Copies of this chain bind each other. A is one copy, B any other.
Amino acid sequence: MNDNTISNLSVDCVIFGFDSEKLNVLLLERKLEAENGETVFCDHTLVGHHVRVGETLDESAARILEETTGLSNIYLEQFYTFGNPDRLKKPRAKLWLESIGRNPEERVISVGYFSLVNVNSVHVSYTERHASWFNLNEIEDLGFDHKEILNKALEALQTKIKTNPLAFELLPQKFTLSHLQKIYEVVLGIEIDKRNFRKKVSQVPYIVPLKEKQQKVSHKPAQLYMFSRDIFEATKKKDFNFSF
């Protein structure tokens, strides 16, 4: 297969999206049809692609993200590389790879990236294969070794969000504190006390209240806030605390 890519090197993107309620992942349908039109199997995979000649890994991830979501300049982070010799050796994987003209015997290593987007900013189903959002808790198995990749991505996200301002990547520019709180709750799988959370927020200089409230909600409208990266960069200090 010659599409100007490196045949044994791919990038897979775990695209996390937040919808005010739950954490979701963007998956592609993987449907294999026989010649007679019957479906041989239909399941889902992460979005990924082989790396192009001359393209860096970061560029490759950004390209894949843009091709499936239309979004560019999105938070993307490399988290792990998957290279088991047998990672593409499940029966369905072989059938699928053959059907798209890849050699199912070739050992392909895949570099994992995760990215964070707000689900409302994505116009889904941009490419040939059907893309859609799945609630993280409702994902059973995935094609190839993608469940393992997803698990590792979630771990990396959880670790990273504890000490870095990632939550804002999942939100629209203007957000409420309830939404912000919900993100920490669903990503870390914890419950947070509302008053303590807001006390903490009020001590953070780069979460700034706007002169604007929610509109058209059938309850008390919430104050809107924004994240100022400028203030964050100007005020951030390193945290050397350790805990065995």
Contacts and interface: CB of A to CB of B under 8 A. Distances in A.
Contacts of A207: 244
Contact of A83 (B111, B165, B167, B244): B111
Interface stretch (A15-23, A34-42, A116-124, A234-242): A234-242
Contact of A161 (B6, B163, B242): B242
Interface stretch (A50-58, A95-103, A218-226): A50-58
B162 A243 contact: yes
Given A8-B6, A109-B9, A163 B242 contact: yes
A54 B85 contact: yes
Interface in A66-107: 78, 80-81, 83-85, 107
A57 B83 contact: yes
Nearest to A241: B162
**How many copies of this chain?**
2
A210 interface: no
Nearest to A187: B242
Given A55-B85, A56-B84, A57-B81, A162 B242 contact: yes
A184 B240 CA distance: 10
Interface string A152-186: 00000000011101010000000000000000100
A1 interface: no
A240 B83 contact: no
Contacts of A184: 242
Interface string A1-36: 000001011000000000000000000000000000
28 contacts: A8-B8, A8-B9, A9-B9, A9-B83, A9-B109, A53-B107, A54-B85, A56-B83, A56-B84, A56-B85, A57-B81, A57-B83, A57-B84, A57-B109, A109-B109, A109-B111, A161-B242, A162-B240, A162-B241, A162-B243, A163-B242, A165-B244, A184-B242, A189-B240, A190-B240, A200-B244, A201-B244, A207-B244
Interface of A: 6, 8-9, 51, 53-57, 78, 80-81, 83-85, 107, 109, 111, 161-163, 165, 167, 184, 188-190, 200-201, 204, 207, 239-244
